């Protein structure tokens, strides 16, 4: 194969975490029955903003787009089944509330007729980006970046290698593991499609070394491909967060993505295995993305397992399918244990980026204990996979020293949570950095607004001063005219002439 | 169903300050046992006075600053500072000197600078430096080494307690009879009298229990330090940089003038170099916090120890070296930042 892999397979920093994957990884993926309601938050993504494309009371079919672009080119959302729009109102989502389109499912599960896209047209990067955004394809690994935008950027910039991320480094999660075990051919098909679309010569599947069954299934699927030489597999040690995009690229290739740039800048592109499978499904059927695999697990749920879920399904439904809660349940987490969000109620719907639902018990969560002052032990820096010094960032967040925060690389923080787990002072570092980032962003926006307002104010002041000066000058002219008898009689004559209706400017000058 | 929410990560935190401090205390235990074996019960009294004073001063300062007493007293930092101070003091130290050093460490060096996490100077070394310059006479006397013995010439438990509390010795026992120069003291005074090192090393405390005691104690300190490294309670940068610098400089100096400069082995195993490297300089609060910063910080301490021992006014120099390098820490932290990923 044509790609040179020079990564030493060693992550800078990171942590060996309790895996807790076995409980959910042992059972096959199960289908989730059609829920009574499907809930779709209206969202914005890096590509643009959306607005509802359906009216209250409207009947919708499965695969019908529910939103349209308000600006830019956002990834669209589609109904996962047929039914009636019964509400467009704020509903709880991970991280708060958002305007949602709620569909009461009619149980007939009728769908729009779809035709596969013309792959030849997708060679044009703008068409590719627009088509995949309209088909609802976004990264299923958690970050949810638009698949079309990533592939289009890669198509334009040219790739040395495509990395398919199956590291699945977060504890508890096993959806990618199960996906490979059960549907490796779809992942390989999607990967090959990505190679074709981007004109990339080689793809590398990257797995953590704790998934032997997935590895075997993947090898078998690759073995059945005609162009198997373009596809290879690399296993990396099971160290969190090896599956972070930048960390994965460094692990495998030995190269660092520039802090201000993206992987295609250095010739690589990283896609999650689930995204590859979703792309394959779309290219084959033309049907948009309306389902994903979700790991439902934790000591607080009766039967942990992976579910094939329609997007929009409330999490309560997933828990029900898994046998309900155990009495010990203490916290409900959407996403992984390291980066996921705790939610206050289980009416939150599954979205594209919901790779896991963890019903955790108090024992699994541990007791964080009292936060005390930083003792500068530097363990956070030893474990930071982004090469940061969280202990210094912590000081700068306390001082609200935004320049210091930027100098220390706050925006290179991937919010992986490693520093929190090794901090003997139990400081919620990751949360502090999240808040600080938001504050700096808001501050920048505020400064920009202030700058515009100041410019507007200055322009207005200037305008007013100019008008005043003009008025003063006119007044002065008139005063001078009043003092000058010749001029004043001429003016009187002028007025008289105008009163007679003779306002020919030529005669006035005469 | 309603759930409590909390910020990620949602996994148990793996470390805690009290656990860290307890681990460091355990690592000192074997050396403390050797200390008691060779130099009698003096260390036990020093430890008691220092720890009780430190906890009292800590409680007083926490109260004055309106902070909760429980976590502050339980975090083990006051106890650890007191223990390190007690190790630095001679076995026969009047209680009020120990108490003064311990109180200064807690009140001035720690709490007036903002408490745990904010102190610029290593509290134990600040306390020790203050009593060392204030009461040089009392701190120049080190007990004679008498392995396992509580009989003459060593003092027994009651006599040691009496001396600690009242400064009084039993009748017919002179201070000279129960004290002896430490190896570093002996070298310093010998060299001042223009003796060569081989002449100095031919007489006590060299060659006898006086030298053995220091070897044992320092050996056990090194073992404790290695255990701390093994369990990741400390990182290697500071101790390795400090010991390597001290060893390198003394090796070069000994090669140039072997009569006047002791070699690396003597430098590392006869004074406070090892406890300094593994237990004192690694106090994270007052040390540099970046990897490169720690290498420079450790090297600086090693170089200063060598300089003070060779040309300075004190036989050892760990305390002053640490305090001087404490001053450089903000600069080191500022100029040795790690490079973020992808920059």
Q: What is the pLDDT of residues B255-285, one digit of tens each?
A: 999 889 999 999 999 899 999 999 999 999 9
Q: Higher-confidence residue: A509 or B185? A: B185
* Closest CB from B3, B117, B342 relative to A258: B342
Q: Alpha helix (H) ranges present in A90-173?
A: 125-134, 147-157
Instruction: Report pTM.
Output: 0.86
Residues B207 and B66 in one domain: no
Examine the domain organization and report whether B268 and B143 are in the same domain: no
- Mean pLDDT of all residues in chain A? 91
Task: Name chain B contacts of A355, Cβ cutoff 8 Å.
Answer: none
Do the domain assignments include residue B50?
yes
Provide, rounded to the nearest whole percent, the portion of chain A with pLDDT above 70: 96
Picking from A416, A460, A358, A408, the residue whose alpha carbon sits closest to that of residue A94 is: A358
Given B149, B180, B211, the domain boundary residue is: B180
Distance from CA of B11 to the nearest CA of A (A): 5
Number of H-type helices and E-type strands within chain B? 17, 2
CB A144 within 8 A of CB A76: no
* Partner residues linked to A318 by β-bridges: none
For residues B46 and B173, state if they share a domain: yes
Chain A, residues 359-418, CB within 8 A of chain B, namely 360, 364-370, 372-379, 381-382, 385-389, 391-392, 407-409, 412, 415, 417
Asked whether residue B171 falls in the same domain as residue B262, the answer is no
Pairing of strands B179-180, A356-361: unpaired
What number is the average pLDDT over the span A9-27? 88
H helices within A244-361, ranges in order? Answer: 245-253, 273-285, 315-321
Same domain, B135 and B229: no
Closest CA to A337 of A171, A196, A502: A171
Give yes or no for a contact between A350 and A175, defined as CB atoms under 8 angstroms apart.
no
Q: What is the pLDDT of residue B149?
A: 67
Q: Is the pLDDT of residue A508 over 70?
A: no
Count how many domains chain A has.
Answer: 1
Instruction: Report the pLDDT averaged over residues A95-120.
Output: 92
Q: Which of A261-275, A336-350, B168-182 has the lowest mean pLDDT?
A: B168-182
Contacting residues of B for A358, CB less than 8 Å apart: 10
Query: Which of B62, B118, B341, B343 is the best residue to mutate to test the A interface, defined by the most A CB atoms within 10 Å of its own CB?
Result: B341
Instruction: Say if the Cβ atoms of B235 and A346 lie within 8 Å.
Output: no
Q: Is the pLDDT of residue A502 over 70?
A: no
Do B141 and B40 fall into the same domain? Answer: yes
The DSSP symbol for A410 reads: G
CB neighbour list of residue B94: distance below 8 Å, 6 or more residues apart: B138, B163, B164, B165, B167
Q: Which helix (H) or strand (E) holds A268?
A: strand A268-272
* Together in a domain, B172 and B103: yes
The residue-averaged pLDDT of A140-162 equals 90
The nearest alpha carbon in chain A to B18 belongs to A424
On chain A, the residues whose CB falls within 8 A of the CB of B4 are 330-331, 342, 344
Question: Would residue A8 count as lying in a domain?
Answer: no
- To which H or E segment does residue A90 belong? strand A83-93
* Shortest distance, CA A421 to any CA of chain B (angstroms): 4
Instruction: Give yes or no for B80 touching A (CB within 8 A).
Output: no
Please indicate if any CB of chain A lies within 8 Å of the CB of B66.
Answer: no
Best residue in A253, A333, A356, A372 for a mutation probing chain B (most B CBs within 10 Å): A372
- Residue ending a domain, among B119, B150, B180, is B180
Residue A351, in any domain of the structure = yes
Q: How confident is the model at residue A509 (pLDDT cuts 50, 70, 90)?
A: very low
CATH number assigned to the domain comprising residue A329: 3.10.20.600
What pLDDT was estimated at residue A510?
Answer: 40
pLDDT of residue B20: 94
- Say if the Cβ atoms of B8 and A370 lie within 8 Å: no
* B97 domain residue, yes or no: yes
pLDDT: is A358 or A12 the higher one? A358
In chain A, residues with a C-beta closer than 8 Å to the C-beta of B284 are 375-378
Per-residue pLDDT of B99-158, as tens digits, reads 999 999 999 999 999 999 999 999 999 999 999 999 998 888 888 888 876 666 678 888
Full domain range(s) for residue B142 = 16-180
Best mutation target, B1, B7, B10, B77, to test chain A (most A CBs within 10 A): B10
Is residue B191 a part of any domain in this protein? no
Number of alpha carbons in the 13 Å side-chain half-sphere of residue A182: 17
User: A376, A415, A425, A438: best mutation site toward chain B, by most B Cβ within 10 Å?
Assistant: A376
- Tell me, yes or no, whether B211 and B173 share the same domain: no
Query: Of A213-217, A416-420, B203-207, where does mean pLDDT reach its minimum?
Result: B203-207
CB contact under 8 A, B116 and A332: no
**Touching B: A residues 259-288, CB under 8 Å:** 259-261
Nearest residue on chain A to B75, judged by CA atoms?
A372
Q: Which residues of chain B have pLDDT under 70?
A: 149-153
Is A228 part of the contact surface with chain B (CB cutoff 8 Å)? no
Closest CA to B242 of B211, B216, B271: B271
Percent of chain A topping pLDDT 90: 76
Instruction: Report, as an integer, the average pLDDT of A353-367.
Output: 93
What Rg, from alpha-carbon coordinates, does chain B have? Answer: 21
Predicted confidence at residue A329, as pLDDT, reads 95
Residue A73 touches chain B, beta carbons under 8 Å: no
Q: How confident is the model at residue A1, as a pLDDT? A: 38
What angle do the packed helices A147-157 and A125-134 form, to 10 degrees? 170
Q: Of residues B176 and A189, which shows the higher confidence score?
A: A189
Q: Which two tokens stand for residue A377?
A: 């032990």
Residues of A in contact with B3 (CB under 8 A): 329-332, 342-346
pLDDT at position A46: 73
Does the residue A185 lie in any domain?
A: no
The yes-or-no verdict on residue A422 having pLDDT over 90 is yes
| C-alpha angle A220-A224-A228 in degrees, rounded to nearest 5 | 95
pLDDT mean over A63-79: 93
B170 and B24 assigned to the same domain = yes
How far does the CA of residue B276 sit from the closest CA of chain A (Å)? 17
The predicted structure's pLDDT at residue A2: 39
Residue A3 has pLDDT above 60, yes or no: no
Identify whether B188 is part of a domain: no
Claim to verify: residue B118 and residue B250 sit in the same structural domain: no
In angstroms, the separation between the Cα of residue B269 and the nearest Cα of chain A is 27
Nearest-by-Cβ selection for A386 from B9, B15, B340: B340
Residues B173 and B241 placed together within one structural domain of the fold? no
Which backbone phi and psi does A329 adopt, to 5 degrees?
-55, 135
Distance of residue B10 Cα from the nearest chain A Cα, in angstroms: 5
Q: Answer yes or no: is B193 within a domain.
A: no
Residues B262 and B135 in one domain: no
C-alpha triplet B62, B67, B73: angle, nearest 5°:
55
Q: Is B330 on the interface with A (CB under 8 A)?
A: no
- Shortest CA distance to B258 belongs to which of B183, B185, B187? B187
Q: Which domain holds residue A320?
A: 295-365
The answer as to whether B125 is a domain residue is yes
Q: Is residue B51 part of a domain?
A: yes
Category of A397 on φ-ψ map: left (φ > 0), alpha (ψ -120 to 50) or beta: alpha
Gap from A364 CA to chain B (nearest CA, Å): 7
pLDDT confidence bin for A343, thresholds 50/70/90: very high
Beta-carbon separation of A386 and B71 below 8 A: no
Q: To 10 degrees, the CA torsion angle through B337, B341, B342, B343?
A: -10
Q: Is residue A433 helix, strand or coil?
A: helix
Query: B 3-62 residues with CB below 8 A of A?
Result: 3-17, 19-20
- C-alpha separations of B269 from A352, B141, B218, B261 in Å: 63, 19, 6, 15
Total number of domains constituting chain B: 2
Residue B96 within a domain: yes
């Amino acid at each position: 194969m044509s790609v040179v892999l020079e990564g030493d397979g060693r992550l800078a920093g990171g942590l060996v975490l309790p895996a807790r994957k076995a409980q959910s990884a042992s059972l096959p993926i199960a289908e989730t029955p059609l829920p009574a309601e499907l809930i779709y938050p209206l969202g914005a993504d890096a590509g643009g903003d959306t607005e509802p494309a359906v009216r209250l009371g409207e009947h919708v079919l499965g695969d019908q787009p529910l939103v349209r672009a308000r600006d830019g080119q956002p990834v669209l959302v589609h109904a996962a089944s047929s039914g009636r729009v019964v509400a467009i109102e704020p509903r709880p989502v991970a991280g708060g509330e958002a305007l949602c389109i709620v569909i009461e499912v009619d149980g007939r599960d009728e769908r729009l007729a779809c035709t596969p896209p013309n792959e030849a047209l997708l060679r044009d990067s703008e068409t590719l980006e627009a088509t995949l955004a309209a088909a609802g394809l976004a990264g299923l690994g958690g970050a949810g970046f638009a698949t079309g935008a990533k592939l289009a950027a890669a198509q334009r910039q040219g790739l040395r290698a495509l990395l398919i991320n199956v590291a699945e480094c977060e504890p508890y999660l096993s959806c990618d593991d199960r996906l490979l075990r059960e549907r490796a051919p779809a992942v390989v098909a999607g990967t090959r499609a990505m190679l074709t679309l981007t004109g990339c010569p080689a793809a590398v599947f990257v797995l953590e070394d704790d998934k032997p069954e997935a590895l075997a299934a993947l090898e078998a699927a690759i073995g059945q491909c005609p162009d198997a030489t373009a596809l290879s597999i690399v296993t990396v040690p099971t160290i969190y967060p090896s599956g972070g995009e930048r960390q994965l690229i460094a692990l495998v290739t030995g190269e660092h993505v520039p802090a201000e740039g993206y992987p295609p800048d250095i010739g690589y592109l990283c896609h999650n295995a689930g995204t590859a499978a979703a792309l394959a499904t779309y290219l084959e059927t033309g049907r948009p993305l309306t389902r994903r695999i979700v790991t439902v697990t934790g000591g607080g749920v009766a039967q942990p397992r992976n579910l094939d879920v329609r997007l929009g399904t409330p999490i309560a439904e997933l828990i029900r399918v898994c046998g309900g809660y155990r009495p010990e349940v203490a916290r409900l987490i959407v996403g992984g244990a390291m980066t996921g969000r705790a939610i206050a109620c289980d009416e939150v719907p599954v979205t594209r980026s919901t790779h896991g639902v963890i019903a955790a018990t108090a024992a699994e969560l541990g007791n964080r204990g009292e936060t005390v002052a930083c003792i500068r032990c530097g363990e956070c820096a030893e474990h930071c996979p982004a090469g940061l010094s969280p202990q210094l960032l912590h000081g700068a967040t306390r001082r609200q020293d935004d320049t210091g925060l930027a100098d220390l690389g706050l925006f290179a923080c991937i919010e992986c949570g490693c520093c929190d787990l090794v901090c003997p002072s139990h400081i919620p570092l990751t949360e502090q950095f999240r808040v600080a980032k938001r504050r700096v962003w808001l501050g920048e926006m505020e400064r920009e607004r202030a700058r515009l307002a100041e410019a507007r104010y200055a322009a207005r002041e200037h305008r007013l001063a100019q008008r005043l000066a003009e008025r003063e000058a006119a007044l002065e002219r008139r005063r001078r005219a009043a003092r000058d008898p010749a001029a004043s009689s001429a003016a009187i004559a002028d007025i008289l002439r105008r009163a007679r209706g003779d306002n020919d400017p030529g005669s006035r000058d005469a | 169903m309603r759930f409590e929410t909390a910020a990620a990560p949602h996994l148990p935190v793996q470390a805690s300050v009290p656990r860290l401090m307890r681990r460091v205390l355990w690592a000192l235990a074997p050396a403390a046992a050797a200390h008691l074996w060779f130099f009698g019960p003096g260390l036990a009294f020093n430890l008691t006075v220092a720890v009780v004073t430190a906890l009292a001063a800590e409680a007083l300062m926490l109260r004055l600053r309106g902070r909760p007493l429980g976590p502050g007293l339980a975090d083990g930092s006051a106890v650890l500072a007191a223990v390190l101070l007690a190790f630095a003091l001679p076995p026969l130290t009047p209680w009020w000197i120990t108490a003064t050093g311990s109180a200064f460490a807690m009140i001035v060096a720690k709490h007036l600078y903002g408490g745990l996490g904010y102190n610029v100077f290593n509290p134990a070394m600040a306390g020790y430096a203050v009593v060392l310059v204030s009461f040089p006479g009392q701190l120049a006397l080190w007990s004679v080494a008498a392995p396992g013995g509580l009989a003459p010439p060593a003092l027994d438990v009651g006599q040691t307690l009496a001396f600690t509390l009242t400064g009084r010795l039993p009748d017919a026992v002179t201070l000279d009879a129960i004290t002896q120069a430490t190896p570093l003291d002996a070298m310093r005074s010998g060299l001042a009298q223009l003796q060569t090192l081989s002449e100095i090393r031919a007489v006590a405390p060299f060659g006898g229990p006086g030298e053995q005691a220091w070897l044992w104690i320092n050996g056990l300190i090194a073992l404790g330090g290695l255990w701390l490294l093994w369990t990741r309670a400390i990182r290697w940068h500071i101790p390795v940089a400090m010991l390597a610098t001290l060893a390198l400089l003394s090796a070069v100096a000994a090669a140039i003038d072997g009569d006047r400069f002791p070699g690396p082995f003597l430098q590392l195993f006869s004074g406070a170099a090892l406890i300094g490297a593994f237990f004192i300089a690694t106090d994270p609060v007052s040390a540099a916090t970046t990897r490169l910063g720690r290498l420079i910080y450790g090297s600086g301490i090693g170089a200063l120890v060598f300089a003070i021992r060779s040309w300075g006014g004190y036989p050892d120099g760990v305390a002053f070296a640490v305090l001087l390098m404490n001053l450089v820490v903000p600069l080191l932290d500022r100029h040795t930042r790690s490079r973020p990923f992808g920059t």
